Amino acid sequence: MNDTSPSLQRRLGAWSLGAITVGIVIGSGIFRSPSQIAGLVGTPAGVLMVWCVGGLVTMCLALSVAELAAMFPRAGGLYTYLEEAFGRRAAFIFGWTFLLINPANWAAIALIFVDYLGIFVPIGSGQSRLIASGAILIVSIINIVSLKLSSRFNWLFTIVKGFALIGLSSGILLWGSAAHKSVASVYHSTSIAGWGTALIAVLWPFEGVVAAAAMAGEVKDPKRSLPIGLIGGTLFVTLTYLLVNAALLKSLSVDEMAASAFVAADAARVSMGELGGRLVAGCAVVATFGALIAGATCDPRVLFAMAEDRLFFSKVGTVHSRFRTPYIAIALSCIVAIAFIWIRTFEELAAQFVLGMWVFYGLCVIGLIRLRQVQPDTVRPYRVPWFPVLPLVFVIACGALLINAFIELPTTSLINVVVIALGLPVYELWMLITGNRQKHAGSASVVNAKVPRRE
């Protein structure tokens, strides 16, 4: 495929990419996951430890992806890196899985958006899924109409929710009431499996770093901007999450956190009254809608890259003549995400997405290590510090996460395995139908031997 379609223009700087990274990461997770994690680990120290581990693991991923993004600054993100490291077959299987599983992310965020919106506007039980579907449709239209417009929305929503979360958490820590320590806990007999499930839950609110890398083909000065945007955004998110959880633990006991359906709003209500609860709920509405916009900005670029590479329907790689956006890829992602809203619950959507995508995140970081061996002379504008320790930390953590998932969430894990496994026969069928088998045949070693594409 070409470096980047000439119709896609490089209009994003490091700060804009950082805003997209923060925008897509800070979404529904921080408003839903703390209660689940509190119930699984049972102590304040355990809660903070899980969030620290989640931040550390995500930073190892961000550092690794930053090196790959600076090496291959093209649209597609993970799809591109897997193709470079392991060949077209592996890239196709990821793209196939991405198409079927990634829209679960949009659907889960949209459902939380509706939950918090319901605090301000009465929403009937039969209306929730309709409103969630409408939210996905609106953000898709915004991204089809203009990348500049969606980028401005990302900036606006990122600033609002970032300052709101930091301001409200700081207010609770400085002036809020402390939790009732006399409440007896029933969660202190946490098992190792419970900790493993908690780590799965904590990775949901950290999700988004890899998605932001898919914008590499539209970033100005990518060799500098990509590492700054990805790493800086991840660091900001980690510190913000720790601050938020410290505030939650001051206002609520661990048991109260575990029992709360709107944990952040309840904590603010305890410390700052009804106004505080409504402010947090408003922040959640802004955060989730902003995350939807950021997701609709980044994710369709993967399908666009597949189409450009002749591994998906060519129409999906079409760029709108006026708006200069991959409008068909965005529309397709929108349709699948809306379908997910009507067939799965939030918990099912979150678990399916995390477990389905993290298989490929681990493979991507293994690919980084492999590329250091097979392409030692390739220009690397940015290199992961303490290589290979940090990439291996992520690979080990990813492996442990997936093993625990098979034990604790066997049905969801099995569904993901089936989806991924089906990618291989679908790839062979695709190559046979399109007549590209001979043209594109070759092992991963041949792919890795080619000269890296230049800008």
pLDDT in tens, 237-288: 999 999 999 999 988 888 888 888 788 888 888 888 888 888 888 888 988 8
pTM above 0.85, yes or no: no
Length of the chain: 455
Q: Which residues contact 26 (CB under 8 A, 6 or more apart)?
A: 158, 161, 162, 165, 205, 237, 240, 287, 290, 291
pLDDT at position 433, please? 86
Rounded CA separation 267/263 (Å): 6
Q: Specify the CATH architecture of the domain 14-437.
A: Up-down Bundle (1.20)
pLDDT at position 17, please? 80
Residue 2 confidence (pLDDT) above 50: no
pLDDT at position 450, please? 41
pLDDT mean over 294-317: 87
pLDDT at position 190, please? 55
pLDDT at position 302, please? 87
pLDDT at position 94, please? 92
pLDDT at position 137, please? 96
Tell me the average pLDDT of the chain.
82
The pLDDT tens digits of the residues spanning 95-124 come to 999 888 888 888 888 988 998 898 898 888
Rounded CA separation 137/143 (Å): 10
pLDDT at position 93, please? 94
pLDDT mean over 434-447: 49
For the chain, what is the largest distance between any 2 Cα atoms, rounded to a whole number of angstroms?
A: 71
The pLDDT tens digits of the residues spanning 313-355 come to 888 888 888 888 889 999 999 999 999 888 876 667 766 777 7
pLDDT at position 157, please? 85
Residue with tokens 């100005």: 220
pLDDT mean over 296-312: 87
Q: Where are the domains of the chain?
A: 14-437
Measure the N-to-C terminal CA separation of the chain; round to a whole number of Å. Answer: 13
Contact 123, 131 (CB under 8 A): yes
Rounded CA separation 50/31 (Å): 16
The pLDDT tens digits of the residues spanning 352-361 come to 777 788 889 9
Nearest 5 degrees, angle CA 130-CA 31-CA 131? 10
The pLDDT tens digits of the residues spanning 145-177 come to 988 888 888 888 888 888 888 988 888 888 776
